[in-house]
Chain A
Amino acid sequence: MSIEPTLSTDILVIGAGPAGIAAAVSAAECGRRVLLIDDNPQAGGQIWRGTNIDQGPVSARGWLQRLESSNLQHINGCRAIFLADSNLLIADLHGQRCAIRFEHAILTSGARELYLPFPGWTLPGVTGAGGLQALIKSGLDVSGKRIVIAGSGPLLLAVAATARRASAHVLCIAEQTRAKARRNFAFGLWRHPGKLTQAIRLRAQSIGAPYSADAWITQAEGDDRLAAVWLKHGTRHRRIECDLLACGFGLVPNLDLAQMFGCTITGGAIAVDKSQRSSRQNVFAAGESTGIGGIDKALIEGRIAGFAAAGSADKAAVLLAVRARTQAFAKTLAKAFALRDELRTLATPETFFCRCEDVPLSAVRAMPNMRQAKLASRCGMGACQGRICGSAAEFLFGWRDTASTRPPFTATALSNLISPSIEASQK
């Protein structure tokens, strides 16, 4: 049997988004051995995906340069798959198993989008909002394409900006939140000047893309691809022909890693103390996975976690006030973009609720919880392991037992799992 590479490090950071990069760089600056891994082909996470180190926004450039010049070890295309013991992680590195021994781990697994089922949501041409942005950043050519952006949250504006820079026609941005709530959000931003300027810049870039608050998707039409969408705006219905629909209803923390490490999860996010330490003594967490709050929160929490894991709590102490501000902003954000009740009734009984196993809403709606729904219908048991429908179920039905992905939580070659003793196989 081939011997898999075994790596060893003081501090293992999982997820190379802003939080992970800040954590890794900060810990390395304290003189610790640091290994940063990420599933993606490139570092940068969601926001800095595909950012060229010589271009891109200043903060992205700064951090990516620090990452490059830091003496930490950094591996892309490497996905955490299971924890063999509290200090040994098994990862999939380009289809090969690799074992990583570590003292402390920092979980910076970020967030994913919330998708809600509506008629037509499985049609090719319907993507997530951030999903479309990620595809554009990874090379999708949208020039001349007619795009409708729908859902909720500041991300919609960022997606519009990306699409327009790539020469797409953004026909409409439909934001479900009530106009009043969004004004409050804009007002609340004054307490967070960095955010305000970002919002204005994004808004300015997306000028020309009609923006409607109080508007939401009700249906997507097409045969084997998207042809048109229906929006509801207040009490009016409107049909718009388009090539692409980019639709996301905000973000939800990725908790798979936290579950794998046995960390306590509270209110849908990894619970951490003041030094970003989780309920597990040697495990820290930072960024969107400890609560949705955007880039500033991710960076500051990442730095605090990096310093704390490296044993330099004094360096973290001066950052606490800034963190409190970014966390307050996160609360403002959640309130301003709370999802309206109408979104719970978009799907018809025939609409697929679980798109991996093609389970219609009618098969699960009467169930008391996710466990029962799985047993009765296979919903949540397909390739995504309930990541898409589980998050939807939390919003639609209030189910709380949806975070049930088990290691290995993404499909991985069986050969990566069969050897029971990693240490033994090295001898």
Chain B
Amino acid sequence: MTADLNRGKEPMTAGFRGKAPTPVDVTREVPTPTRELPVTGLPSGRVLPPPIGSAVERIDAAEKVSGEAVYAGDVRLPRMLHGAVLRSPHASARVVRIDTSRAERLPGVHAVITGADTARIRWGAFRPDLYPLAIGRVRYVGDEVAAVAATDAETARRAAELISVEYEVLPAVLGLDEALAEGAPLVHDDAPGNVAHEFAFDRGGADEWFARSDVIVEGVWQSARQWHGSIETIGCTAEWSRDRVTLWVNTQTPFLARQRYATALGLPTRSVRVIQTEVGGGFGGKSGDDNTSVICAILARRAGRPVQLLNTREEEFLASRPRTPMRCRVRLGFTSDGLVTAKDLDLIADNGAYTGKSQAVLGAATVRHDALFAYRAVRARSRLVYTNLVPTGAFRGFGNPSADWAVGQAWDLAAARLGIEMPDLLLLNAVEEGGVSLHNHRIGSCELKQCIRKAATAIGWYEKRSNPTPHRGFAMGVSVHVSGRRSFGDYDGSSAIVRLTEDGRAVVITGEGEIGTGARTTLAQIAAAELGLAVADVTVTRPDTDLTTHALGALASRVTYVAGNAVKRAAAQACERLLAAASRQLGRPASELRVEDGLVHAPPALGEDVPVRLPVGVVVRAELYRPNGEPVVGLGSFDNPSEFPDGVRYGNESGAYNFAAEAAEVEVDPATGAVTVLELAAVVDCGTVLNPPLAEGQVEGAIAQGIGMALTERFDWAGGAPTRPNFVDYKLPTSQIMPRLHVEFADSYEPTGPFGAKGVGEIALDPVASIVASAVADAVGVRVHELPITAEKIFWGIRSATDRRDGDRR
């Protein structure tokens, strides 16, 4: 035992023994010895300019605690109407006839629309397969069929119920096996076999490496739909002015949304303007793949008045795009001393009735995890399958949590089979700076090993594992995430304009926006640091597709890294121009000047002994108020140094990768199977931590969602739909269920990041469900293969193990 426990501390130079054939010089492919890691508390010993790295208060905190912030449902326009949507009660049916006359006659109703009133165009981020309102067919319970605008929401809802629709019910496919069965009914006629997307590859020769392996583990794991459960549902307010519509939407991605909504409306992009309202939680669910805004725009056009359309909570469960469930068959090979050889993955993902982003989710689930370890070969076959169920899509972590659910548990099985403690097995195989995965992930800064060690220490892994407590178990997992990803065309860039004002402030103009993470605050910090201003003197705009810079928005953990760099460059240029102006005004070389605390500082003029101090605003005003005067403005842009992955997902998808190691201790009540997660330690490498409380908040919130995914979030289904789609049945974690959290960040610095920072928004969610399951297995010997991990499953697992043992004894 002791020898095992110390393994991680020894240099990892072990080569293949046993069956490794001689012709290949495998020792050269083995990870190099662990280098000494910085333990300075600062990012690799660097000194950071204030206010980088400090607990700056959120710039939007006061308006949020006072109830003043304007969310989607708080928008009020003169003459505004309210919308409601009629949805399909059938999983699959032909729409024979729609009669809207009774709805139209209801007092207070101003517009009733059906598919006939739309441009009949199919739209979608990757595979256009969604009509704004049903044309001829409905494909899941919740599919949008018709909509109403009325003076108030209640009247609109009553009118929607008065629309009578005649359906011819068709056979539906309500699961992956049904969808893939020979001769199964087709969800879309143009998707034979119900396959929406598929790809396969074998990189490195998997069979050969499995043949060389001493230990092979294998299993099948199934993940489930998980809803974002943002406390604010999706909503939009639309207003037309001649042929142009303005949409106030709680979207994470205003520019991408505008493009898609314009397509769906059959309009040129220029006819749609999107303005981001305050966003009450996003997590991927508000990234413009659903019909709410499109329907709202059509209603407003029909009614000739502004219309607001908000999902009810029940509708949110039917109309949003929850996490894509996946069935993953994983096989892993190892040498007897614990070096990983090969991975084989067969992945089937449940697309639901329409595609949204699931196609990209599938890609991430297939390859991203492989950036963690020095696999010699990886083979995968991945399929995205249509079903007559709620369409799925992007949710924090993208494909990672579903892949981790399977692959992470397979690694846990391997550790047990190899007799190696998990932290040691991970340390033995973990990627390091300079690593290149089989899919060409090129790893820059990487403190994964530091994360693993710190997480093991934080949870007390070695002490507690050598003194086990009955019914308690431990597990550890790791994950990798991107900082932005090239997905929407060959561009993952951002641009920003920094305008210095005559009153001495800076306005950062960017279209990236805020969904609650604090992005606007960290961007303000970056600008403030670069400009020598106080954060309080920096304003960051909200996205408006007419007024701000073009931006892809809050997805793929990209804003800090990609937009942060753009803002930093824009601020640097503004500062340069400010100093050039001050230099002219003072008759001093710019090299002698600097900005600090909102003042331009210069050494004393010749013959004087008082240093010169000029408020920034005075310099800006003087620069403007002169003949042919000019504003002081800086422009900056940054494109993620990454590659657009090809059709089989080969390509360095991001310029920087973030890492995490998490360890959990759980307790299982053997009488009921109930699981309590006692403690969870998370150590994250996100480069420089720009604002500790905000970064911690990302990790803590992500873990909570991971706990929900693992333990509490589920529905009972009937006829292809959740029976009671609201929070009564679908239980978000409350504070009571949260474990003791230990959140820490690795000492790390990403050279290509703004002040060394990388993304942090998603990664901490990824391993949670997997390690909870593995810790349960460690505690009571029951391995759960299907999410969520319920007391029931564990109880019956314990029972059948006991029965087996009793049977053996008999």
A, B co-complexed: no
Residues of A within 8 A of B (CB): none
